[in-house]
């Protein structure tokens, strides 16, 4: 029974074919595309307003060189929000609960920011490894610590997103199972558990959006240090 709670995180298969690629493609299929008409519908208007607001807030601390990443950040934000929100629907699979997918997004983008910094301003980028005014005996130790913290960044990005979504899905399933079991035994307690489940679901909707925003925001901060 305990192991069955984790069955929802197994990559779906059909006739021995993994459906991970299909689950990743679904958000792009259902997302509305701009039309050639002069007037857009309400959905496209709301979509454009959200993208413009998010891009403006995200690129505010960046200089002009960092604005080239606007399309990447906006696309990644919409992609992650769509996957996280669709994963809250019943009988669906959430690809962002897989650490391999999150690391596949975090590592290349983090590495791109580091390479840009090393190419454009190597002295400034290497200067982050040693704070100004450090005592001479602490220089080797601080360089090692800062180097480790630099390489931990992509791991923290992927693990944070995976852990938050996995914990939320497990809590929802645990509380839903408790409400189902308690219904014939203690209806009042089951009703209170159902209310708690509803509130937790609303919280998970917020977490799904916040975690996608935090993922992209941290990438923009890493980019800010290197441009």
Specify the pLDDT at position 1: 45
Specify the pLDDT at position 13: 73
The domain ranges of the chain are 16-32+41-226
Rounded CA-CA distance 3/174 in Å is 12
Report, in this order, helix, strand and coil percent for the chain, each rounded to 5: 75, 0, 20
DSSP labels, 16-30:
TEE-HHHHHHHHHHH
Mind listing the pLDDT tens digit for each residue in 177-208? 888 888 888 889 889 999 999 999 999 999 99
Mind listing the pLDDT tens digit for each residue in 85-106? 888 888 888 888 888 889 999 9
The overall average pLDDT reported for the chain is 84
């Amino acid at each position: 029974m305990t192991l069955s709670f984790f069955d929802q995180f197994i990559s779906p298969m059909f006739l021995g074919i993994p459906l991970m690629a299909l689950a990743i493609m679904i958000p792009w299929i259902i997302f509305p595309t701009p039309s050639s008409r002069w007037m857009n519908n309400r959905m496209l208007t709301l979509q454009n307003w959200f993208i413009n607001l998010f891009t403006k807030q995200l690129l505010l601390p960046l200089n002009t060189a960092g604005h080239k990443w606007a399309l990447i950040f906006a696309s990644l934000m919409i992609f992650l929000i769509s996957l996280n929100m669709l994963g809250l629907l019943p009988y669906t699979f959430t690809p962002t609960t897989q650490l391999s997918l999150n690391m596949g997004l975090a590592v290349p983008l983090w590495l791109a920011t580091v390479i840009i910094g090393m190419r454009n301003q190597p002295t400034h980028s290497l200067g982050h490894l040693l704070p100004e005014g450090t005592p001479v005996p602490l220089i080797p130790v601080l360089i090692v610590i800062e180097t480790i913290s630099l390489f931990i960044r992509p791991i923290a990005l992927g693990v944070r997103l995976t852990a938050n979504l996995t914990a939320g899905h497990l809590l929802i399933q645990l509380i839903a199972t408790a409400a189902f079991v308690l219904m014939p035994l203690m209806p009042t307690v089951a009703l209170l558990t159902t209310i708690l489940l509803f509130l937790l679901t609303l919280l998970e909707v917020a977490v799904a959006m916040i975690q996608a925003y935090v993922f992209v925001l941290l990438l923009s901060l890493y980019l800010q240090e290197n441009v």
